[in-house]
Structure 1
Amino acid sequence: MQICSVCSEQTPKYKCPVCKIRYCSVSCYKNHKDECLPVKQTASPALAPDFKATHHCDGNWSVEDLLDEDDQSDRVPLQRLKELGESKELKALLCNPHLRQLLLTVDQADNKADIMKVAMQEPLFVEFADQCLKIVEPITEENICPMI
């Protein structure tokens, strides 16, 4: 099990797009970014990609900037992400200012696990999460538990 390269306390959830160290939170990233150095190009570009090759000139980043082969199992296919953006049900839910505030609170929280426990007590947030999961992981025969 890995630990955060910055605070050495939590399990890392993110990877720096520049130097590839793993960190656990926004606050750890903010502490790290001032000392961050790009990884040096090695003989194998697949093992240590050049930052200029993955970081877009316009300042935007892509999912590939943050993931490597180890993260592939957690990756949501681009088509599913597009379906999230096109979902009328999600758009309708996002019209609710209370839900938008909940999402901002979760996004800005340092301890995501604790804030998620609180957010999951809100029926509106649960409805939003369920709708997202219906799109990202649609129900199929293989992921239905048989009734005993």
Structure 2
Amino acid sequence: MGLRQCEICKEAQSKYKCPSCLTPYCSVVCFRKHKENPCQKSSPPLKSVGAESLTKAAEVLPERAYHVEEPSWVLGKEQLESIVESKEIRDSLQSKDLQNLIKSISSSKNPENELDEAMKGQNFRDFTDKIISIVSNQQKDP
């Protein structure tokens, strides 16, 4: 699957697709410019774990409510975009073992316990450390 040209700036190859209409874009700047005008929702099947599927997954509302004791624990849109755009995170998510572990945590009746168990494994700790590093760096760079 080859890269297509960014539909927004028409200058660079696209690395991502809009989660709503699948318009190819190359950067956060182009994505924000694209989102200035509403676009049509598209619902093709997700074939691989990439920026577009992570963004689409982030848009799905949880089936159950989550109580957050500290509001600062909730990530903002910019922080989530930083995670989605990280090649390191996308590469990590190519691991079927990691995908299955995340699905197991997400679908569990007791996700807190599943998460505690997952944190005992080095691969999952490395993955969460990458996310924390990205979010921390994004907070430092306004």
Q: TM-score, normalised by structure 2?
A: 0.47
Structure showing greater Rg: 1
